[in-house]
Amino acid sequence: MMNNELSNQCSPEVTNEDILQAMKKIPGYLDITPADFMEIYQVAYAHAVERLRSSIKAEHIMTKIVITIKENASLADTAKIMASHNFSGIPVLNDENQVSGIISENDFLKQMNPSGQPSFMHVVLQCLEVKGYVALNLKTLSAKDIMSSPPISVKTTTPIREVANILDTHHINRVPVLDENMNLTGIIARSDLVQSVCWPTTKGDKGNETSQ
């Protein structure tokens, strides 16, 4: 569901301040013709979008209901939860209910492939070339054994532009959102950014919907 306040900003309104800032960025004397005005408008619009990008924080687009597992959860139970919710990744909590790691499909694939390659086709090749059950060793392991740790996280006040940079820099598909006490308060997936107005053109608020 779209948050009303945020959805009103889906098409940023160009303000006088945006136009003023745009005019300051255009060098030389301005003889206002339609072409000049269009140039000013384009720069002003870019300024408005940049302003909007800076104003939207992680808390505005994060999924607020987060499905988690404990460190001692078996991989069978972990896989069941991920499969039933159609998740590709899920946060792992320690005994203090703080995020200690993230477990994803890639972590399963790496564990199933002796070469450590997180590739589905590498696992298929392993199944075809090797006799036996390639996932057999997973039955004795827990979430803590294969999770990615320490987890990369963001704060509720982190601008979504910075969130996007973190996902791209670390080549990850989701990031937990922590409050000022380092407690899990939400999660942001790439799909949340795609649906946001700033990434690249539309913005949504997932609210209580789950998207991990």
Kindly report, residue by residue over 114-146, the tens digit of the pLDDT: 666 667 777 676 666 666 666 667 888 999 999
User: Mean pLDDT throughout 23-48?
Assistant: 78
User: Longest C-alpha distance within the chain, in Å?
Assistant: 78
**What percent of the chain has pLDDT above 90?**
44
Give the pLDDT confidence of 157-178 residue by residue, as tens digits: 999 889 999 999 999 999 999 9
pLDDT at 9 over 80: no
155 is a domain residue: yes
Task: Look up the domain containing 187 and give its range.
Answer: 60-194
User: Residue 180 and residue 62: Cα distance in Å, rounded?
Assistant: 16
DSSP single-letter state for residue 57: B
In this structure, the answer to whether residues 47 and 78 fall within a common structural domain is no
In this structure, the answer to whether residues 71 and 175 fall within a common structural domain is yes
Give the pLDDT confidence score for residue 5 in this predicted structure.
Answer: 44
> What's the pTM?
0.67
Q: φ and ψ at 60, to 5 degrees?
A: -80, -25
The CATH number of residue 119's host domain is 3.10.580.10
